[in-house]
Amino acid sequence: MSYFNLSEWEWLPRASEVLLILVFGFIFSRAATALVVKGLRFLDPQAHMIVKKLLFYSLFGAFFGWSLHRLGLDFKVLIGAAGIFSVAIGFASQTSASNLISGIFLIVEKPFVVGDTIRVAEWEGIVISIDLLSSRIRTYDNLMVRIPNENLMKSAITNLTRFPIRRADVEFSVAREQDLDRLEKVLLALARQEPLCLDEPSPLFVVQGFGESSLSVKFCVWTSTASFPKFKSHFIASLKNCLDEESISLAVPRRRVETIAPSSRSTFF
């Protein structure tokens, strides 16, 4: 009790007062934060989230400081303790500081926003939050992945939904004797029949090169980003059915196997 200017009889009612201050402060901070951020709809989602958290912790921090004051806490003791632990905290917070700075750069640069679908290293999913220390994405199999902001700044980020349209590329091989002009006409006709294929940019037919016993080709079509995940799978299936109907066979790897009879002459050493 040496750190507090309270007698033993004063401790219980003062503790009850502090508890009421903290409870009221929490409720007030939540309500005031919700009221303020409600009028900030012009902000983008991640800025809205950051402002909401900063405002809440600032308000509640003020009530927390008031509660310490009502306890009669000697702030000189806190300052002394802070000096003792400042070095240890400094070493421990190096990573947090790096993540914090990286988070600020992510918010300012905006390589992605909440709701975008991104690919980072082996992870791919929808961004559900961008905080000061880390960002979170929800993968396609409904897993939450937390990625430190420092790692995001050091990694190549692919934003799959940044632009309104995307190109779907389908690569396959056909026999070398295949009539490429006819193949191109068949594929272009297929693209015109697909309602989700865009006319502009126009579809593209590319001959990529020779295989061991085939020709490698690529057919590229454009669709809206929102339709892309379902469209590509559907279009590949439609392309396969179209080639079957037109009697255009996909090339399969061929291997020549020769069986050589063992020599009847034996050599001895």
Backbone Cα Rg of the chain: 33
CA atoms within 13 A on the CB side of 231: 21
Q: What is the pLDDT of residues 2-40, one digit of tens each?
A: 444 555 556 667 777 778 888 888 888 888 888 887 777
In this prediction, residue 123 has a pLDDT band, given cuts at 50, 70 and 90, of very high
Question: Which pLDDT score, from 0 to 100, does residue 268 have?
Answer: 46
Which pair of tokens denotes residue 231? 């469209």
Q: What is the pLDDT of residues 198-240, one digit of tens each?
A: 999 999 999 998 887 889 999 999 999 999 988 999 999 999 9
Contact 206, 220 (CB under 8 A): yes
Helix/strand/coil for 112 = coil
Instruction: Check pLDDT > 50 for residue 97.
Output: yes
User: What sign results for the dihedral spanned by CA atoms 192, 197, 203, 209?
Assistant: negative
DSSP state of 103: H
109 vs 163 pLDDT, higher one:
163
Instruction: Check pLDDT > 80 for residue 115.
Output: yes
DSSP state of 260: -
Q: DSSP of 50-75, one letter per residue?
A: HHHHHHHHHHHHHHHHHHHHHTTB-H
Q: What is the pLDDT of residues 37-83, one digit of tens each?
A: 777 776 666 667 777 777 888 888 888 877 777 776 665 655 655 55
